[in-house]
Amino acid sequence: MQSISQALARLKGSKFRSSFRLNEKDKAYIREKGMETIESHARDFVKKKLSPAFPENDGKQTPMKGHPVFKAMHATGCCCRGCLNKWYRVEKGVVLNDIQQEKIVRLLMRWIEEQMKEEMR
C-alpha cells in the first residue's frame, strides 16, 4: 500500500493529473469557508460520487470545475471508479467502506493543502 506522499509523487508523473491547479477563486473559497468545511464537502462528495458500487453516471459524475474538491478529485485520480481502479486498484462494483472513503478524503485534503501552500511561496 502506498502512502499519500507516494501517491502524490506518482500523480506528478501524469501530464493530465499534474495539470490541475487551484485558481485564485478556488483558493478564496477555501479561505472563506475554512479547511474544516472543505473537508466536510470532500467527505460528502466521496460518499455520494464514489462510494456506491455502481455510481450514477460513473466516469462523468465529477465536474472538472465548480468546487476545489472536484479539481482535487481529478488531480488525484479519485474522480470515478475507473480512475480509482487504475491508480489505486480499488475494485469496481463494490461499495467503498468507511476506511477506503477516509483514505480518499485524506488524499484529497493533502492535495488541497499543498495547493494552498504554493500560494505562500
Q: Where are the domains of the chain?
A: 4-120
SS (H, E, C) the chain: CCCHHHHHHHHCCCCCHHHCCCCHHHHHHHHHHCHHHHHHHHHHHHHHHHCCCCCCCCCCCCCCCCCHHHHHHHHCCCCCHHHHHHHHCCCCCCCCCHHHHHHHHHHHHHHHHHHHHHHHC
Per-residue model confidence (pLDDT) at position 119: 54
pLDDT tens digits, residue range 20-76? Answer: 999 999 999 999 999 999 999 999 999 999 999 999 888 888 988 899 999 999 999
State which amino acid sits at residue 8.
L
